[in-house]
Copies of this chain bind each other. A is one copy, B any other.
Amino acid sequence: MDRRVKQQIAFILEADKLKNVIRRNYLTDGSRRENSAEHTWHTILMAMLMFEYAENKQDLNLLHIIKMISIHDLVEIEAGDTFIFDEEANKNKFDRENQAAKKIFTKLPYDQGKEYYDVWLEFEKEETADAIFAASVDKIMPVLLNTYSKGTSWREAGITSARVFETLKVIEKGPQKIKELLADLVTLSQEKGNLT
């Protein structure tokens, strides 16, 4: 195994730990909380399905979006999952995750590590068209799971619909269809009592 492959294997073995990073929300069957690795896969699938609704396809690169989603949560191996509605923990989230990103992507060969770090940073900033699309899909996923389950992670934290719209406001900049989906899911969740 040459040095480059060894570095790539070290990275992929480190990434294995994302399967043990536990998020707040539950699977739809309520059996357990979701981990960040399976969340990432589910988000990739949703991005593929929802891509047809992007109004600005000429500015988007689906492969780049999927790359972004694939690696966006790796920082949680070091920094842990930060519950999106935990305002206190979100204050220093970027700094904690930026440190973590530098640590994990440094395991890769230099060029690949730099590429992935830049892709991670692009996702975090939510400025480019690709990042806005990726973030919209990422943010809709726990709403979907919370709506079609008992919404336990929302109930535990007493989340209101106003806070959902406020916290997930990147979705306003994403595809109209995802924005409408969010509104529909929030209404459904209110009807079920998952959101107050």
Where the two chains meet, the residues of A that have a C-beta atom closer than 8 Å to any C-beta of B are 1, 5, 8-9, 11-13, 15-20, 27-29, 31, 34-35, 37-38, 40-42, 44-46, 48-50, 62-63, 66-67, 70-71, 108, 112, 144-145, 148, 177, 180-181, 184
Complex Cα distance, B13 from A78, in Å, reads 29
21 A-B residue pairings within 8 Å (CB atoms): A1-B184, A8-B49, A9-B144, A9-B181, A11-B49, A13-B144, A16-B27, A16-B28, A16-B29, A16-B42, A16-B145, A18-B41, A19-B42, A20-B27, A20-B29, A37-B37, A40-B41, A45-B70, A48-B70, A63-B66, A66-B66
- Copies held by the complex: 2
A10 to chain B, nearest CB (A): 10
Pairs A-B, 7 closest by C-beta atoms: A41-B41, A37-B38, A63-B63, A19-B38, A38-B38, A40-B41, A16-B28
Complex Cα distance, B48 from A63, in Å, reads 10
Complex Cα distance, B50 from A11, in Å, reads 12
Complex Cα distance, B26 from A20, in Å, reads 12
A114 to chain B, nearest CB (A): 14
Would A37 and B42 be within 8 Å (CB), given that A5-B181, A144-B9, A145-B16 are in contact? yes
A22 to chain B, nearest CB (A): 12
Q: Of B12, B17, B184, which contacts A45 at CB under 8 A?
A: B12
Complex Cα distance, B144 from A62, in Å, reads 28
**Contact at B42–A148, with CB atoms within 8 Å?**
no
Would A15 and B38 be within 8 Å (CB), given that A62-B63, A63-B62, A66-B66 are in contact? no
